[in-house]
Amino acid sequence: MKKTGIISLGLLVCVTTLTIVESCSKDNVVDYYGLGNCTDTVSFAAKIEPLINANCATSGCHDATTAESGYDFTTHQSIADNAEIMYNAMSWQPGTAPMPDGGDQLTDSLIQQFSCWMSQGKLNN
């Protein structure tokens, strides 16, 4: 009977340890858009804004003077409001126009940065 108590105590310790270890994995933000875990906070000013300025908010595309495109991606608010549409276009999802228009698809790492920024709440940081 004493042996059963020791085994039960050992199992309890193992289960408790595994529960604690698993709860630590919640510190990483899950990338809900499919490219892995987001371990670092993505800076809008350092990563997202330059990405958009170089590939989307260029003259004649999605800048403030191009009304015919229907989208102006020159502010955090406009990018955050349209982030899902932008993600679908930059990752060339079926049913969306692949962007950048006439250019190569963005690299997986750039798309992942954008995806992580979305998953982290589209912060204006």
Q: How many CB atoms lie within 10 A of CB 49?
A: 18
- Residue-averaged pLDDT of the chain: 78
Distance CA 115, CA 29 (A): 11
Pair 86, 56: CB distance under 8 Å: yes
Q: What is the pLDDT of residue 25?
A: 37
The per-residue pLDDT for range 51-104, each reduced to its tens digit, is 999 999 887 889 888 755 688 899 999 999 999 999 999 999 999 999 998 889
